Amino acid sequence: MAVRRRIIRQMQAATEQVAVAPSSSPPRGAKPRSGIMRQYDLVERVRSYNPDTDEDLLNRAYVYAMKAHGAQTRASGDPYFSHPLEVAAILTALKLDDATIVAALLHDTIEDTEATRAEIDQIFGHEIGALVEGLTKLKRLELVSREAKQAENLRKLLLAIADDVRVLLIKLADRLHNMRTLEFVPPASRRRIAEETLDIYAPLAGRMGMQEMREELEDLSFRTLDPEAYAVVKQRLDALAERNRNLIGEIESQLSKNLQKNGVVAHVYGRRKKPFSIWTKMERKSVGFEQLSDIFGFRIVLDNVEACYRALGVVHTTWPVVPGRFKDYISTPKQNDYRSIHTTVIGPGNQRVELQIRTEDMDQIAEFGIAAHAFYKDGVGSPTELLKRESNAFAWLRHTVGILSESANPEEFLEHTKLELFHDQVFCFTPKGRLIALPRHANVIDFAYAVHTDVGNSAVGCKINGKFAPLSSELTNGDEVEVLTSKAQSAPPSAWESLARTGRARAAIRRATRTAVRDQYAGLGRRIVERLFARAKIEYADDKLKGALPRLARTSIEDVMASVGRGEIKASDVARAMYPDYKEERVAARYGAKKGLAAKLKQAQPHHPARSASVIPVGGLGKADLPIKFAPNGGAVPGDRIVGIITPGEGITIYPIQAPALKDFEEEPERWLDVRWDIDETTPQRFPARIRVDNVNEPGSLAQVATVIAEHDGNIDNISMSRRSPDFTELTIDLEVYDLKHLSAIIAQLRAKAVVARVERVNG
């Protein structure tokens, strides 16, 4: 916000020194023209580029939509039918086929009128019915947030687009007309629609190569979301255009003459950038308006690719080149099919001149993207099939939809979609020369997942341009990246999700993490089930459980085991599903703690050959395939005899055998697990323990206790005090020690202190 305010103040101050003509835009609230395009006008528009248009089909659609919307009106007061008609008119400018124009006329009928999909199919055919259905928002969504509803509708739209790209073209035209008339919408909705347009629809148009539509959507959104900044930028642009009118013409003339003199026939014209583009560059680079060198750009349009490179040679030998401002998107096209040569030179009047050199076909694709393909021509197959053959942009869209459709929840899908719509890109290469396009600021993790999901999941290191580098390294244009993988890593660290920049990488990491967690729960559940079956002396077999799946309402054995591990199903429920006569045995707690624990430990050790396989090594958190934690209120240290208690949904809790808390688990022997210490002596680590100290209540006594612990390399994690009598204070100290010998030495040294009356270890 501080940068924004500074930029606006600077530009306002500069604007006051320049005489600016008043804006020609209509005052806010002014009603648009009420004239509605006639049937024959629409037909003539289509006939102008498609002489074989089906006039009868267009007429029927016109009449049907007009009758269906009837007396409905828009927020502006105009008849509602004017909206689908304007959407159709936008699409005629893109020279689209009859089915697309008809679907544009009908696009709101299913959603906002009594019309049905079946009726549309019957009157206009299945093809048009499918297009209209793809544009219809989901109704009666029982979702908790507006973002979730927005995401589900976007998911439906993207899936429809993947089936037929014309759905996207109609949707973008629909959004464009809504944005052109946004001033009549209530302010709260106005801002929401503008944000959605800027976040999703404008970048989506850019990804599809439709730059002209993207720029208009961005500018209309910018004008709504930040009218002050928009007005200031537009005033400065208008003033600059007025001041440099002759200079622009001079540059166009000199470029044309120099090219013609060297035998290059070209069409040269200048254009100024849009306010939103100027504003975002000023914010991104933290520069003032005067410091921008590419407010005006010039295009050189030629007949063929060879002429493009000849024109480049003429330009570079006529004027000095600005270093670092050359990009060749002809040899390396963008993912949205954009092809052009970009360069900046010091032109007439020592002005920086940004040039785009391209062919006529490239210019059409740069402006209209996928809409530049001749959808209305016969003999090319369906539009979607045509784009599968000719458009990288559409291939990107289908691939992205395939990944994003696997997102776990609507908000996650929306987040990933926005990430995938980044427009600015860097181009990197694999060691074999494969080109990988990524968003700006992407890193090696994003690169690895762009190559293949398995490469990302197993990545352990990388080389950038032959040198070892961290996986989090940001990539730049032209980097050659080699991803080093390991079969030992089957799932990526969950922390990678926060490092990844692309929706694809984040979705894959989140999916792999969920799978790993599910596998952990499944492993935990299998241990619980097998232990119960061993105790009950009944046979367990996967084949037998497979036949009982319907009774457990699960589709696979892994689902059953994961549900047991999460605590959603009891192990006894699995036994009853497989053996209907099974009855769970309960053992009454009749004896004291130690005697009962011994009995339970004996029960927890069934006699079978695979017994050793159930012993879990304990050397700290994360060394087993299940989550392991230590008992609260005392923990356990190496040297203690220990036992593990399985808790569904949590993992294994380690208790010392003398812990009184184990009495609570006497009636659940299937939860008991043999565990053992597995300590790496070369890398000492600390374990939790608790002691209780009765301390003489005198100045400095607490300091003496703390000094003893510190001198013997113990670490105090927590300490609490309570006054037992006027003479003594009871201290409960949570320690971290290396093993039982270390703990015993600390206790012995404390007992030797005169200020300590008693010390004992506490077990929960």
Residues annotated as part of the active site: 111-112
How far is residue 42 CA from its own chain's centroid?
41
Q: What is the 3-state secondary structure (H, E, C) of 461-514?
A: EEEECCEEECCCCECCCCCEEEEEECCCCCCCCCCHHHHCCCHHHHHHHHHHHH
Q: Give the burial class of 756: count Cβ atoms within 10 A of its Cβ; 0-12 exposed, 13-18 middle, 19 or more buried.
A: buried
For residue 8, what are its two tokens? 């606006």
For residue 644, give the nearest of 659, 122, 13, 633 by alpha carbon. 659
Supply angle C-alpha 490, 495, 497, rounded to 5: 85
Please give the DSSP secondary-structure letter assigned to residue 74. Answer: -
- Cα-based torsion angle of the residue sequence 146, 152, 154, 157 in order, rounded to the nearest 10 degrees: -140
Q: Is the dihedral of CA 422, 194, 164, 361 positive or negative?
A: negative
Sort strands 628-630 and 435-439 into parallel, antiparallel or unpaired.
unpaired
Supply angle C-alpha 751, 752, 754, rounded to 5: 95
- Classify 315 in phi/psi space as left (phi over 0), alpha (psi -120 to 50) or beta: alpha
Give the list of residues 6+ apart from residue 602 with CB closer than 8 angstroms, or none.
Answer: none
Q: Is the dihedral of CA 184, 190, 196, 198 positive or negative?
A: positive
Between CA 482 and CA 417 the distance in angstroms is 27
Please give the DSSP secondary-structure letter assigned to residue 23. Answer: P
Between CA 594 and CA 575 the distance in angstroms is 30
Side chain identity at 590, as an amino acid letter?
Answer: R
**Across the strands, what pairs with 461?**
484
Give the list of residues 6+ apart from residue 562 with CB closer than 8 angstroms, or none.
Answer: 518, 521, 522, 525
223, 234 Cβ separation under 8 angstroms: no
Which element (helix H / strand E) includes 529? helix 503-536
- Long-range contacts from 51-54, C-beta under 8 angstroms, 24+ separation: 52/378, 53/98, 53/376, 54/98
Buried b (16+ CB within 10 A) or exposed e, 484-503: ebeeeeebbeeebbebbbbb
**Across the strands, what pairs with 296?**
272
Sort strands 352-359 and 296-302 into parallel, antiparallel or unpaired.
parallel
Between CA 343 and CA 340 the distance in angstroms is 10
Q: Is the dihedral of CA 136, 140, 146, 151 positive or negative?
A: negative
How far are the Cα atoms of 178, 198, 294, 397, 640 from residue 203, in angstroms, in the given order? 17, 7, 21, 12, 61
